[in-house]
Amino acid sequence: MSATSRGRKPVHLAVYDTLADWEPGYATAHLARAGYEIRTVAGDSLDPVTTIGGLRVQPDLTLAELRPDDSALLILPGADLWDTGDDLAPFGRAARAFLDAGVPVAAICGATAGLAREGLLDDRAHTSAVSFYLAATGYKGGERYVDADAVTDGGLTTAGPTEPVAFAREILGRLGAFEGEKLDAWYRLFHDSDAAAYEVLNS
């Protein structure tokens, strides 16, 4: 364990077959560089999972071993499986346990639909790919939908599939990896290719 990560709780990244590789990458890479340990969490087996890009990921633990008190954040990426059945429903229930315990959750793309089905978006401002995607879940939170790149309401951050940088911005700011003008510079560098932001970020 590095000196920078000593005393920090790890960040947990949910992993499952058809996981959308690109969605959590900015967040996990820069959290790791800031000293956070990233631990991967699978459903009920430690068998490797295969992402939508064909990468094989070896999980560190299963949901049965995951405790909110041992975590700084739970990240739920999108995956085809969110929309093809109930296989990933246990991750929605895990998100509820985290939020009930006061531990933040960040969900992007299809994972937002999983949270909608779990009832976690009924009373929180949120976003996703488009409003009618979530409406198809039958959830009751349509009036709380925000047409934005990423939305944080209390302990929950949501984003659509085309916004991995904005998703990461919310996460990095919440966990203090970057703050203030440096967080803004990080976003401008990676979202807008603003070369001037590089100097601010490294000043």
CA–CA separation, 78 and 177 (whole Å): 23
Does the annotation count 60 as an active-site position? no
145 in Cβ contact with 123 (< 8 Å): no
Q: Which two tokens stand for residue 136?
A: 């198809």
- Name which of 22, 15, 21 is nearest 87 in CA terms: 15
Q: β-strand 56-57 against 156-159: which pairing, if any?
A: unpaired
CA–CA separation, 194 and 139 (whole Å): 39
Which residue among the candidates 75, 109, 121, 168 is catalytic per the annotation? 109
The DSSP secondary structure of 124-169, one letter per residue, reads S-B--S-HHHHHTTT-S-GGGB--SSEEEETTEEEE-TT-HHHHHH
Catalytic residues: 109
